[in-house]
Amino acid sequence: MTIGTGLSRRHLLRAASALAITPALAQARVCVAPPDAGRVTKAVNDAHARFAGLTEGKNADYIPYLAGVPSALFGVAASEPDGAVAEAGDVGYALAIESIAKVFTLALVLRESGPEAVQQKLGTNATGLPFNSVMGVELNHGKPISPLVNAGAMATVSLVQAASPEERWNKIIGNMSRFAGRTLTVNEEVYKSEADTNEHNRGIAMLLKSYGFMYTDPMEACDIYTRECSIAVTTHDLAVMAGTLANGGINPVTKEAVIDPALVPPVLSQMAIEGLYENTGDWMFTVGLPAKSGVGGGLIAVAPGVLGLAAFSPPLDAAGNSVRAQKAVQSVVQALGLNIYAG
Ligand code: GLN
């Protein structure tokens, strides 16, 4: 990794030993600068080339529309702080954002109601359970526990301050559009497919209401949640959205301050403990970046202060995380040394 003035870490450590200061001290005094653009482009291209032939996994089929999305689609992108986006493959294909939406509506509610309300009314712990678990709600006396599972995400939607469903929806899609740096819209076909088959989520919404953890009409919250999952985004958009979180809440392309920098760490904390559901521990163990997946095949990851990463490929593993997107992001993280625990 290139640090500070463009010297490599090895050079700095050598310089430190010549000056008889400890390597640890030398590192502590140096600000880590983003890797140069050429290395980012290479890492993205290499990740795409490396996994282009991987066919493991299976499209989500409990939402009929998603079963028909071509499984061969594969895109990788990285958003840099100066607004550049390195990309490879099908980065312009409009996929369904699905659960990645949960991250941005959490950011909105944090901004409107603050971290304490989020902890009390939603919870900020890991469930260790599948994203649509009813047992997770029952085990916790109705508290959703995490804003990044379906129960918590519907409760999050219900916390958005609004006098009408329209106002609530406009705030949600408006907020997500600011993260992306362009006006996003719903893929109506995805919405219909999902709304026609979302009995399970409706059941969860009613259950939350019965326990007092749903803060508006449960069917309205479920419907708006279904809509936010049906928002169409490209892999390029996802990289910029992740890049906004990496960049202290400032969209690297539009330069708009979308979220207070103080609210970025709480958002990332949730991605780090629940972003890939019951496989989040494995993800953090092997990759080490806060991330969030969606059953549309998208995945975002955030290297704070450095890069926003995104990848997309429809075939999923058993937990509902894109197989190829995970591999591609892991490859970029390793090539650029972005694991947050590596210091
Ligand atoms: N809309 C999907 C659902 O509610 C989102 C799930 C996901 O992406 N993990 O089941």
pLDDT at position 35, please? 82
**66 with 205, same domain?**
yes
How much is the pTM? 0.90
Helices (H), the chain: 9-18, 23-29, 37-51, 64-67, 101-121, 135-139, 150-159, 165-180, 188-195, 199-211, 218-229, 235-246, 264-274, 280-286, 323-336
pLDDT at position 61, please? 95
**Which protein residues touch ligand 1 with a CB less than 6 Å away?**
98-99, 131-132, 150, 194, 201, 229, 294-295, 320
Mutate to test the pocket of ligand 1, among 69, 132, 228 (most ligand atoms within 8 A of CB): 132
Q: Residue 6: which pLDDT band, with cuts at 50, 70 and 90?
A: very low
**The ligand 1 atom nearest the CA atom of 295:** 8
Mean pLDDT of 284-295: 98
pLDDT at position 37, please? 84
Q: What percent of the chain has pLDDT over 90?
A: 89
Q: What is the CATH number of the domain that holds 119?
A: 3.40.710.10
pLDDT digits (tens, 9 = 90+) for 180-239: 999 999 999 999 999 999 999 999 999 999 999 999 999 999 999 999 999 999 999 999
**Hey, is 2 helix, strand or coil?**
strand
Q: Which of 331, 339, 309 is nearest to 47 (CA)?
A: 331
**Hey, is 87 helix, strand or coil?**
strand
Helices (H), 122-249: 135-139, 150-159, 165-180, 188-195, 199-211, 218-229, 235-246
Is 193 a member of any domain? yes
**139 with 2, same domain?**
no
pLDDT digits (tens, 9 = 90+) for 297-340: 999 999 999 999 999 999 999 999 999 999 999 999 999 999 99
**Hey, is 81 helix, strand or coil?**
coil
CA of 196 to the centre of ligand 1 (A): 14
pLDDT at position 280, please? 98
The total of other beta-carbon atoms located within 10 Å of residue 8's CB is 11
CA of 190 to the centre of ligand 1 (A): 12
Higher pLDDT, 21 or 136: 136
**147 with 107, same domain?**
yes
Is 341 a member of any domain? no
* Mean pLDDT over the full length of the chain: 91
**The ligand 1 atom nearest the CA atom of 150:** 4
**54 with 193, same domain?**
yes
pLDDT digits (tens, 9 = 90+) for 14-64: 333 333 333 333 333 334 567 888 999 999 999 999 999 999 999 999 999
φ/ψ of residue 122, rounded to 5: -120, -45
In a 13 Å sphere around the CA of 315, the CA atoms on its Cβ side amount to 16
2, pLDDT greater than 90: no
pLDDT at position 31, please? 42
Amino acid at 24: A
CA of 99 to the centre of ligand 1 (A): 5
**23 with 77, same domain?**
no
Residue range(s) defining the domain that contains residue 13: 1-33
Is 342 a member of any domain? no
Mutate to test the pocket of ligand 1, among 154, 229, 321 (most ligand atoms within 8 A of CB): 229
pLDDT at position 21, please? 35
**138 with 250, same domain?**
yes
Alpha-carbon distance 257 to 43, whole Å?
Answer: 28
pLDDT at position 33, please? 63
**29 with 152, same domain?**
no
Structural domain tally of the chain? 2
